[in-house]
């Protein structure tokens, strides 16, 4: 009897479920799925997909790139962290120990790098060394050969030209110092709150071609007035021309990449004996989880991949510059310099082989006069962002902000110099296109940061899946 009633109740329950259209409830979406399920497949404005980038970066490129960046040529970066903020005076300095930057002592930097602070080949370094000791670079030493004098003047003129996307430091300034990037890694320093958000607020609100009436969502500095929904905000963004849309996505991608680094190298524990740094899953979720960020987190991650493709494309374009026989990664250690150049070329050829490069031909392809104005606006907005880095109150954040904006600016300079690169002589000085050591170091380290971010996304994905 009991079994009969049980069967009848079960049968009636099944009939009710079917008749009511009720379906079995699906398990709730995990945090890992929320963060990453929307970051798959093809990217907007690109023919490439996320999975292809992950495989290429994490298993073919990342290990070799990290080895290159650990070499002497790329680990020492000359920077002026004492430049005043050009936009406001009420800048508050971060007093935390982790915000400090330890510059190199004079004897810690290889002599070849110190003498090569401006140029990159041994021959050019030896010839120009006396010139660089002059009060200003333009004061050319008459003892140099006529050809070298001409090269110096051409290089100086080009560095000050309208082709550059960054306002670079004056590395001849007494305030400019060498910093060992390996000893001053980018990681969470505790610099946050209104001072930090003020930097990003100025970047997004005043430099990303955005109407002032539209407030960026999730901005703690934005008042409730005029703030619109996330969907409306991105509807406006999608209505932009491809160049302005790309500009916003580059800045958003850079912001996302920095947030990935801070979440991956977070101060988890501190004792009087040691500090423990590692992955902070909660911090990562607060910045990228689809629900916690009201849908914006996955967009940020997609923009990070977009930035990766832009910098990857620039590196593929600049290969001929580094292939020239007279180019050296000069540090004074001949054997190491040759090995590093071989590794550099291996990496660039690997990048060249990437099957789904970003196609920049759609940029500035309209009316010639309008395209020229748009390119100039693009350049000036980015130069302005590079100047904002001098307003960052945390010196370690300022260091990495300046390096990464200069690196991205160098990548943009390369993308807009395709004809100049194609017309370079096979040997000897290139008057129309060249890269200073500062630009080379920042270019590869900036891409190294983006490459690290893509790798860290895989690490966070695995960590999130392991706890759910």
Rounded Cα–Cα distance for residues 440 and 320 (Å): 14
- Residues sharing a CB contact under 8 Å with residue 370, sequence separation 6 or more, in sequence order: none
Q: What is the pLDDT of residue 207?
A: 76
Residue 111: C-alpha distances to residues 2, 45, 73, 114 (Å)? 92, 45, 11, 5
Rounded Cα–Cα distance for residues 211 and 381 (Å): 14
- Residues sharing a CB contact under 8 Å with residue 10, sequence separation 6 or more, in sequence order: none
Q: What is the pLDDT of residue 135?
A: 36
Residue 11: C-alpha distances to residues 14, 21, 23 (Å)? 5, 16, 16
Q: Where are the beta strands (DSSP E) in 271-306?
A: 275-278
pLDDT in tens, the chain (468 residues): 444 444 333 433 443 333 444 444 555 566 666 767 667 777 776 767 789 999 999 999 999 999 999 999 999 999 999 998 888 886 667 767 888 999 999 889 998 888 754 444 444 444 444 444 433 333 444 444 565 555 555 554 444 445 677 776 677 788 899 999 999 999 988 887 777 788 888 888 777 776 666 665 545 444 444 444 555 556 666 667 777 888 888 999 999 999 999 999 999 988 888 889 999 999 999 999 888 888 888 889 999 999 999 999 999 999 999 999 888 899 989 999 999 999 999 999 999 999 888 877 767 666 677 777 777 888 888 888 889 999 998 999 999 999 999 999 999 999 888 888 988 888 777 777 889 899 999 999 999 999 999 999 999 999 988 886
- Residues sharing a CB contact under 8 Å with residue 407, sequence separation 6 or more, in sequence order: 311, 442, 443, 444, 445, 446, 447, 449
Return the axis-axis angle of helices 242-264 and 368-388, rounded to nearest 10°: 20
**Mapped to the 3 state alphabet, what secondary structure does 329-343 carry?**
CCCCCHHHHHHHHHH
Q: What is the pLDDT of residue 146?
A: 60
Q: What is the pLDDT of residue 102?
A: 93
**What number of other Cβ atoms are within 10 A of residue 23's Cβ?**
8
Q: What is the pLDDT of residue 372?
A: 77
Pairing of strands 266-270, 76-79: unpaired
121 burial level (CB within 10 Å; 0-12, 13-18, 19+)? middle
Q: What is the DSSP string of 33-73?
A: HHHHTTS-SBPTT-S-BHHHHHHIIIIIIHHHHHHHHTSHH
pTM to 2 decimals?
A: 0.82
Helix H or strand E encompassing 130: helix 122-132
CA 315, 187, 264, 247: dihedral to nearest 10 degrees? -40
Rounded Cα–Cα distance for residues 308 and 352 (Å): 14
Q: What is the DSSP string of 8-29?
A: HHHHHHHHHHHHTT--PPPPPP
Q: What's the half-sphere exposure (Cβ side, CA atoms, 13 Å) at 172?
A: 12
Rounded Cα–Cα distance for residues 199 and 41 (Å): 32
Tell me which DSSP letter residue 108 carries: G
Residue corresponding to tokens 């008042």: 223
**Tokens at 250, concatenated:** 């580059």
Q: What is the pLDDT of residue 292?
A: 87
Q: What is the pLDDT of residue 230?
A: 54
193: left (phi over 0), alpha (psi -120 to 50) or beta: left
The rounded Cα 94 to chain-centroid distance in angstroms is 23
Q: What is the pLDDT of residue 353?
A: 95
């Amino acid at each position: 009897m009991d079994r009969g009633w049980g069967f009848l109740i079960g049968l009636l329950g099944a009939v009710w479920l079917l008749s009511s259209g009720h379906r079995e409830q699906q398990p709730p979406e995990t945090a890992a799925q929320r963060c990453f399920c929307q970051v798959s497949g093809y990217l907007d404005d690109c023919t490439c997909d996320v999975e292809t980038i992950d495989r290429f970066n994490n298993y073919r490129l990342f290990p070799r790139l990290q080895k290159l960046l650990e070499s002497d040529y790329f680990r020492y970066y000359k920077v002026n962290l004492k430049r005043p903020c050009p936009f406001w005076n009420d800048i508050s300095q971060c007093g935390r120990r982790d915000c400090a930057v330890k510059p190199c002592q004079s004897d810690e930097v290889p002599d070849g790098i110190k003498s090569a602070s401006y140029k990159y080949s041994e021959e050019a370094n030896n010839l120009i060394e006396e010139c660089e000791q002059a009060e200003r670079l333009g004061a050319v030493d008459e003892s140099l050969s006529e050809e070298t004098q001409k090269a110096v003047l051409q290089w100086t003129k080009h560095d000050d030209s309208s082709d550059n996307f960054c306002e670079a430091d004056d590395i001849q300034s007494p305030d400019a110092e060498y910093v060992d990037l390996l000893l001053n890694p980018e990681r969470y320093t505790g610099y946050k709150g209104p001072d930090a958000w003020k930097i990003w607020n100025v970047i997004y609100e005043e430099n990303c071609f955005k109407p002032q009436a539209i407030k960026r969502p999730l901005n703690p500095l934005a008042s409730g007035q005029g703030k619109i929904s996330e969907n409306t905000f991105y509807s406006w963004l999608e209505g932009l021309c491809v160049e302005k849309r790309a500009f916003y996505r580059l800045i958003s991608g850079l912001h996302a990449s920095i947030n990935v680094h801070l979440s991956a190298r977070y101060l988890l524990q501190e004792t009087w004996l040691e500090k423990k740094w590692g992955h902070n899953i909660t911090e990562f979720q607060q910045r990228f989880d689809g629900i916690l960020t009201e849908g914006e987190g996955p967009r940020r991650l997609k923009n990070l991949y977009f930035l990766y493709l832009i910098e990857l494309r620039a590196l593929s374009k600049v290969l001929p510059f580094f292939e020239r026989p007279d180019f050296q990664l000069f540090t004074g250690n001949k054997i190491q310099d040759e090995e590093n150049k071989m590794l550099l070329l291996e990496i660039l050829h690997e990048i060249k082989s990437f099957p789904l490069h970003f196609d920049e031909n759609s940029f500035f392809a309209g009316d010639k006069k309008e395209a020229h104005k748009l390119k100039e606006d693009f350049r000036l907005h980015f130069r302005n962002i590079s100047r904002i880095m001098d307003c960052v109150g945390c010196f370690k954040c300022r260091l990495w902000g300046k390096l990464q904006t200069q690196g991205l600016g160098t990548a943009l300079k390369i993308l807009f110099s395709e004809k100049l690169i194609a017309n370079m002589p096979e040997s000897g000085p290139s008057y129309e296109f060249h890269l200073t050591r500062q630009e080379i170091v920042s270019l590869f380290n900036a891409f190294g940061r983006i490459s690290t971010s893509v790798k860290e996304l895989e690490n966070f994905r695995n960590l999130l899946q392991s706890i759910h």
